[in-house]
Amino acid sequence: MVTTPSGSPYLSRAPAAEPRPAVQHQESLRDTIESVVVAFILAFVFRAFVVEAFVIPTGSMASTLYGEHWTHNCSMCGYEFAVGANRGQSGKLALPHASLPCPNCNWEDPVQVSRDDVESGDRILVLKWPLDLSHIFPALGPKRWDVTVFKDPKDGETNFIKRLVGLPEEVFMIIDGDVFVAKAQQLPAELISRLEVIQELNYQARQARNVPETRALRARMDQMRPGVIRDLRPYLRIQRKTGPSQEALWSVVYDHAHPSRRQRPERGGRSWWQAEPSSGWSVGPGLVSFDGLQQPPSELAFVGKSLEDDHAYNVGLPAESAQARSVTDLRVRFTLFPAGGDGQLRVRLRKFDDTFVASFDADGTVLLSRVRQEQPGGMEVLGRAHLRSLQRGQPLRIEVQNVDYRVLVRVDGREILATTDEQYRPDLAKLLADRWRPARSGERPAEVALSAQRLRMEIKHLAIERDVYYRSPRIQGSLTGGNPWADLPGWGTEENPIYLRSGEYFMLGDNSPASEDGRLWSIVGDHLRSRGPDYQVGTVPEDQLIGKAFFVYWPSGYRPTHVRWGLIPNVGRMRWIH
């Protein structure tokens, strides 16, 4: 220790080394380059094996995911909806030629969009690593109803995104818009053998040298299919969607929060919700009320609007068919504000010949019943629950739905009643053969109605929604044009079930009328053609799967003035994908 003249201590030091600025600069530059290279490697590894970003170009998954589109607000009811943009084969953006029909009120606005107004498709994140580890941990493998990215079987390079609906080792079939499967392990060996013969004939048709040979092979398949479908019926089971995926697949039929101005009584219009005069029901903008403390049962029915699978997004898009299909899987939801009385509110849903009623008594009793004319009182009680009594100032959020042959009742987000498979299941013989025929002229396949007695109440946020309806189209093209399956029933559809072998998956788009998915594929890329009969047209092999889409991180953004691109993120539309 040395002391300075002032007495302050300090440590003695060795003489400082001469600075080497050139060497230090080189080392700093090397460290920077190494950091950049490592960052690129980590980014590449992350993109290749963990998460990758994709852009949705088309509307085959609308409304779950949007491709390029315009956003339009209905001039009559104010409802906002998306209209798909079509670039066609040339890649040039085409404007819709038809008017823009509102999915809520059916009003048709003139086309008032320009090419500069088009919004980009959703940008999504896709989780890849679970598929890479699924051979070690099977629980991480693909699951039914996952929104999945995979390679297009047509070229092996283009990325497609659809919903995974069919799994290996099962027979897949769409019936009346719903998904049915039969597990291969439960089928008789003789039936599996016939399904394999049809697969072999399909492969031979792919290899056929001329049209007469193709026609002969098709005739053999046509002869076999009806018997196969008949023998499959006892083994087919409907596949119900998961809660989150079902929520994503609801589409609006009518939202009373956006009533049409032309339907308001004060303007001489007539609401789609109709009741008898002096019934106690009143329908106003955004509000439905019932004032009938002394009133006998009185019904408010939803009439005048078709319950169909048409999609406003598809205006101007090439769709499989302009002919809409009736949809019978429906949900009605609303918030009930009780205001007095000792009576009852009922929600009635009819699907074909089956009518279900959910009743909510003032004392808190909830019943789920089925209309049975042969039963005392004409009703068969399927389930009973108890809530708090209906009291002023204590609103209830109510949902009643009939979807995938299961009727359920939710109150305040909690499922309180639901049918079992023993109580309610599809009649496949009738669905595949006789179809539904109305008992009365003008009767629709599905109905929605509310009824009430001895109550005073208000209903807000009233909405009717429909489930996705998977169509059963025929494969497009022509025999003479080189498509051996032209005009055959689509793969996996009502007249053409498909047997998915080990490692084969089946995909459908949520926007069924405008989705080119497994039902319609007919071109096989070289990367799959080389596999011979080991590749089945209409399916996606396991090694062509990329990952599961899980988040929309950049929906079409807001645009600053005079800027064509959405530079400001629309945080409100960022969402998880189900």
Q: What local confidence, expressed as pLDDT, does residue 321 receive?
A: 54
> Residue 211 — φ and ψ, nearest 5°?
-65, -45
Query: Is the C-alpha dihedral spanning 381, 387, 391, 395 positive or negative?
Result: negative
Look at residue 375 and give its three-state secondary structure.
coil
For residue 322, the SS3 value is: coil
For 508-559, the DSSP string reads E-SSGGG---TTT-----HHHHTTGGGS-TT-EEGGGEEEEEEEEEE-S-B-
Residues 6+ apart with CB under 8 A from 49: 128, 129, 132
Q: How many residues does the chain have?
A: 578
Each residue's pLDDT, cut to its tens digit, for the chain (578 residues) gives: 333 444 443 334 444 445 555 555 555 665 566 555 555 555 555 555 578 899 998 899 999 999 988 889 999 999 999 988 877 666 777 777 678 889 999 898 988 777 777 888 999 999 998 888 888 898 999 999 999 999 999 999 999 999 999 999 999 999 999 999 999 999 999 999 999 999 999 999 999 989 999 999 999 999 999 999 999 999 999 999 999 999 999 999 999 999 888 765 444 445 688 888 888 999 988 899 999 998 889 999 998 788 999 888 888 666 555 678 899 999 999 999 999 999 999 999 999 999 999 999 999 999 999 998 667 678 899 999 999 999 998 999 999 999 999 999 999 999 999 999 999 999 998 888 766 555 555 678 999 999 999 999 999 999 999 999 999 999 999 988 889 999 999 999 999 999 999 999 999 999 999 999 999 999 999 999 999 999 999 999 999 999 999 999 988 766 655 555 666 777 888 999 99
Beta strands in 41-169 (DSSP E): 51-55, 69-73, 80-84, 100-101, 108-109, 123-127, 147-151, 159-166
Q: Which helix (H) or strand (E) holds 251?
A: strand 251-255
d(CA 203, CA 205): 5
Distance CA 458, CA 14 (A): 89
Q: Which residues pair with 506 in a beta bridge?
A: 166
> In a 10 Å sphere around its CB, with 0-12 CB exposed, 13-18 middle and 19+ buried, how is residue 202 labelled?
buried
Structural domain boundaries in the chain = 23-53, 165-240+470-534, 251-466
| Angle separating helix axes 189-207 and 211-232, nearest 10 degrees | 160
CA dist., res. 448 & res. 466, Å (int)? 11
Name residue, tokens 């960052």.
39
- Tell whether domain 251-466 is in CATH 1.10.645.10: no
Q: Which amino acid would we find at residue 369?
A: S
- Cα distance between residue 478 and residue 484, in whole Å: 8
CA distance 578 to 568: 25
Alpha-carbon distance values, 17 to 266, 542, 578 (Å) = 94, 64, 64
Which residue, chain included where needed, has tokens 């003695």? 12
Structure tokens at 43: 């980014």
Q: Is the dihedral of CA 452, 335, 325, 431 positive or negative?
A: negative
Dist. CA 216–CA 223, nearest whole Å? 11
Residue type for position 549: A
**69 neighbors 313 (Cβ within 8 angstroms):** yes
